[in-house]
Structure 1
Amino acid sequence: AFLQSTTSNVTNPDPLNERVFSAELGYGFRSGIFTANLNAYYTLWMDKSFVRSTQMSNGDYARINLGGVDARHMGIELDFSLRPTRWMDITGMLSLGNWIWDSNTKGYIYDSQGQPMTAALDGTVASGIMADDHAWLFLKQKGIKVGGSAQTTGAIGMTVRPMKGLRVSADWNAYGNNYADFWLGSGLNGNQTIEVKDPWRIPWGHQLDLSASYRFKIGNIFATIYGNVNNVYNYNYIMDAQSDALQEGIWQNAYAVMYSFGRTYTVRVKINF
């Protein structure tokens, strides 16, 4: 195999401009103590471009440049704010989404230096970009869930002001319907169709955050002290992961798992001159 170490700067001969279609319908309610907004959305992302990767037999990583990809995002969102008394605020939100890849896609394969690869994926450089010997992959991914972001989120929080200058807040956030993003594993050859498996559905996660601030006076100067405790229960949940597109979407086939931070603390002081 002939390996070429210089990076290719050849211009993509047939780029597609990304297009977006979006429609929303909403309703808002306002009163003296309560406000709420309800919104439904439907968005089509068309001709998106992105990159997937696989490992070649020579140990290098290959990049598959995919274009003309469609995705459909739809869902409903609700947020509200309640002030039952002057010293208390209650807020909340809920977002229910359904995001899927809405088309299959074909992509050409390059090594980490940007050189076009032949179908053996052993590091042999093709005669040119999109030439007859330039390797490609066709991904059958229509209907597969979009990974990398929670499609269902919710939150509820309360802020109280029990005395002048003091504010105390508690906020609970939850994340669900989060799916692992996929890569194409290793040991593949080019010029073939890949049937993408349903990705792993990551278990839902949540955390409770507490915060407080107190504003006071030092002589003729105002100061405010802030304190935060994030993830009070020190609960570790999975925020993101990846899985092999060729394997069943179960936790045993997940990797590159990213966990949330544990309990963290911050304290700061602000002085206004």
Structure 2
Amino acid sequence: NAVQRISYSLHDQVGILATYQRDFAKNLRVTGGAEFRYWHADHPGHFTNLFGKDSINALTYATVDTAGQIKTFQRYIRQGDLDGPTGDIGFPTGWNLAGSKDPTYVTQYRNYLGETPQFTVYAQANYLFEKIGLNLMGSLQYAWYKYKLTENMPSENAISRQLKAAEVSQLGLQKEGPVGSKFYMRSGNKWYEFDLINADRTKGFLQPKIGFNWNATKNFNIFGNFAMVSRMVDLGVYYNQGRLNPDVEDEKSNQFELGFGWLDEIFQAKINGYYMNWDNKSARIQDVTKAGQPGYDRNGFRSELVGTSEHKGIEFEAGLSFDKWLPVKGFALRTSFTYMDNKWSKVLDAVKYINNVRNPFNTSALDADGKTYTLYFDELEGKPVASGPQLITTATLSYENYGFFGSIDMNYFGRDYLLDGGTFLGTEAEFIGVVNNKELYKTVYSDQLPTRFLFDVTAGYNFEFQKLIRGTLTLQLFNVFDKEYFSSSDRFGVIPGMGRTFRANLSIGL
């Protein structure tokens, strides 16, 4: 019973922003403001291809039967999809939900609505000590949000209750579908009742930030800042594949930065170090033995709070203008270097053990020899966080003059850990030889993606027409040499990067 699925996230949002700025003294400037935003997002998921069949029994749900035992049943499904653009790009107003075409949601495996109103107020002040060139900065922000989640049909991992014959008769059930806060399904001559999630989560964050910038000399400056940042928990942890987790904590972070800079007519440079810790950080985990069980998707994945991650690093960037030496003005060279060290520093006690048994983080982890083993939550401490390349070097030769601009960019990426915990995947193939006219290769395993150099080219022109219309034409060629490389990974393996790609962009404004 093969099926092909497609999932949608149809978003729209509105917002309004107001700011106020006033100089209370020669050296004191205060800025305040408020912002309101509202997000609305439909998340339907359809069975778009049953490969020639009209209907099949392919959607499995858990249920508590009339004897109180947990069992499973299968629901028949049909092929269907949204009405919308034929391509991947379309405005939200161009998509029509199945609605009356599928009142029993028999062509769908998920359908929920997320709504998020958010309100933010902030104040920021800057005070300049002119005599010593010291600028002090401080800001305070309060952010309030409410996340409302409404299910139109039960999640694949919801647990139903099998109805007794008397209950079916009393309810007068004839058709499947939603009725109030319940959803009714039928399999054969048995009926099942689900509770639909209709819940909201309201939180408010107070986020302070302080900093300084001291121009010690005409060319040399020192800067630093500290911030406390909070953000709402990952939806996957809260919604939890239909098993709502209302008590989960939001993410919080303390962030420090200190740096030095140099600036003159032809050369500028900046180097800084930073340290951040993230509390209540989550990760995507997999346990294939629990695939389809409450809290896990059909492939055994779920989002789980892990604990605290530690992020520290050094950043350097510099720029050199060639105007002093070249007859043609506008040429410059820019370069940057970033080194990061991101690790799990603490694992929550609540996830280390379940019923006094070690909780597995990855039941299909691979070691350096490609052998499968189980990585447990309590083994994550001190292990890498998979967060993209942790070593990045760039160099750019640019030109900008008389409205024309262009650049040649080189980018190097390294220390790109494949998975949380530093486990391994097959990343390369080593040629062994030919046996029986067949080429043989040996898989090479690594805990990092292979390093990669990529080159891009950009050219463009800023124009103005009769002082009324302004615009920019930009032409870009990415991965100039069409290099084959891996850009990221997940627990299924490595993911290839983008090949040679051309992009043109025209922006016009008054």
TM-score (norm 2): 0.39
1:259 matched to 2:259? The reply is: no
Answer whether contact 2:290 2:300 (CA < 8 A) is retained.
no
Higher helix proportion: 2
Which residue of structure 2 lines up, in the alignment, with residue 124 of structure 1? none
Q: Which amino acid aligns with 1:172?
A: M
Write the distance in 1 (CA, Å) between the matches of 2:422 and 2:347: 13
1:225 and 1:13 map into 2 onto residues whose CA distance is 49
* Residue 16 of structure 1: how far off its partner (Å): 3.1
Q: 2:482 aligns with which of 226, 234, 239?
A: 234
Task: Give yes or no for the alignment of 1:211 onto 2:211.
Answer: no
- Specify the code of the residue in structure 2 equivalent to 1:227: L
- In structure 2, the gaps of 5 or more residues are 1-69, 74-155, 160-196, 198-242, 293-297, 324-328, 361-375, 425-446
Structure-2 separation of matches of 1:218 and 1:65 = 52
Distance (Å, rounded) in 2 between the aligned partners of 1:31 and 1:25: 21
SS for the counterpart of 1:56 is: helix
Partner in structure 2 of residue 150 of structure 1: 389
Please state if 1:30 is matched with 2:263.
Answer: yes
Pairing 1:20–2:253 present: yes
Q: Secondary structure at the match of 2:484?
A: coil
- 2:331 match: 88
Cα distance, 1:65 vs structure 2: 5.2
Indicate if the aligned counterparts of 2:285 and 2:303 stay in contact, CA closer than 8 A: yes
Distance 1:19 1:215 in 2: 42
Q: How does 1:85-234 map to 2 (within 5 A)?
A: 85=323, 86-105=329-348, 136-137=359-360, 138-139=376-377, 140-161=379-400, 164-182=402-420, 198-199=423-424, 200-215=447-462, 225-234=473-482
Match of 2:283 among 9, 28, 50: 50
1:212 to partner: Cα distance = 1.0
Q: Distance in 1 between matches of 2:465 and 2:304?
A: 61
CA–CA separation in structure 2 for the residues paired with 1:170 and 1:155: 11
Displacement of 1:3 after TM fit? 2.8
Equivalent in the alignment of 1:185:
none
Q: 1:134 to 1:3 in 2, by over 3 A?
A: farther
Relative to structure 1, the CA distance from residue 12 to residue 234 in structure 2 (aligned partners, 3 Å threshold; closer, same or farther) is same
Q: For residue 225 of structure 1, report the CA deviation from its aligned partner.
A: 3.9
- Map of 2:179 onto structure 1: none
* Mean Cα deviation higher: 81-90 or 94-103: 81-90
Counterpart of 1:250 in structure 2 is none
Among 58, 62, 73, the residue aligned to 2:300: 62
Contact 1:45–1:72 (CA under 8 A) maintained in structure 2: yes
Could you tell me which amino acid in structure 1 is paired with residue 477 of structure 2?
A: V
The one-letter code of the counterpart of 1:145 is P
Task: Give SS of 1:102's match.
Answer: strand
Aligned-pair distance for 1:197? 5.8
Q: Distance in 1 between matches of 2:300 and 2:506?
A: 50
Distance apart, 1:76 and its partner CA: 0.3
Q: How far off its partner does 1:269 sit?
A: 4.4
In structure 2, do the counterparts of structure 1 residues 197 and 165 end up closer, same or farther at CA, with 3 Å as the change threshold? closer
- Tell me how far apart the structure 2 counterparts of residues 26 and 101 of structure 1 sit (CA, whole Å): 25
Residues 181 and 107 (structure 1), Cα distance of their counterparts in 2 relative to 1, 3 Å cut: farther
What letter is aligned with 2:316? L
How far apart are the structure 1 equivalents of 2:398 and 2:291?
58
What's 2:6 paired with?
A: none
Name the amino acid aligned to 2:409: D
Change (3 A) 1:66 1:36: same
Q: TM-score, normalised by structure 1?
A: 0.69
Partners of 2:416 and 2:391 in 1: how far apart? 8
Relative to 1, partners in 2 of residues 1:55 and 1:79: Cα closer, same or farther, differing over 3 Å?
Answer: same
Seen in structure 2, the aligned counterparts of structure 1 residues 19 and 218 have a Cα distance that, compared at 3 Å, is: closer
Partner SS, residue 307 of structure 2: strand
Residue 413 of structure 2 aligns with an amino acid whose one-letter code is Y
1:173 and 1:232 mapped to 2: Cα distance? 12
Q: Percent identity?
A: 21
**One-letter amino acid of the structure 2 residue matched with residue 263 of structure 1:** R
Which stretch of the first structure deviates more once superposed, 51-60 or 1-10? 1-10
SS in 1 for 2:300: strand
Instruction: For 2:466 and 2:252, locate their aligned partners in 1 and report how far apart those are by CA, in whole Å.
Output: 59
Residues paired across the two proteins, number:
228
Q: Between the two structures, name the one with larger relative contact order (CA 8 Å, sep ≥ 6).
A: 1
CA distance in 2, matches of 1:142, 1:133: 19
Q: Structure 2 residue aligned with 1:2, among 71, 85, 98?
A: 71
- For the 8 Å contact 1:206–1:237, the answer to whether it is kept is no
Unmatched 5+ stretches in structure 1: 109-129, 183-195, 244-254
Cα gap change, 1:57 to 1:165, in 2 (>3 Å):
closer
Instruction: Provide the C-alpha distance between the structure 2 equivalents of 1:205 and 1:87, rounded to a whole number of angstroms.
Output: 30
CA contact (8 A) 2:384 2:422 kept: no
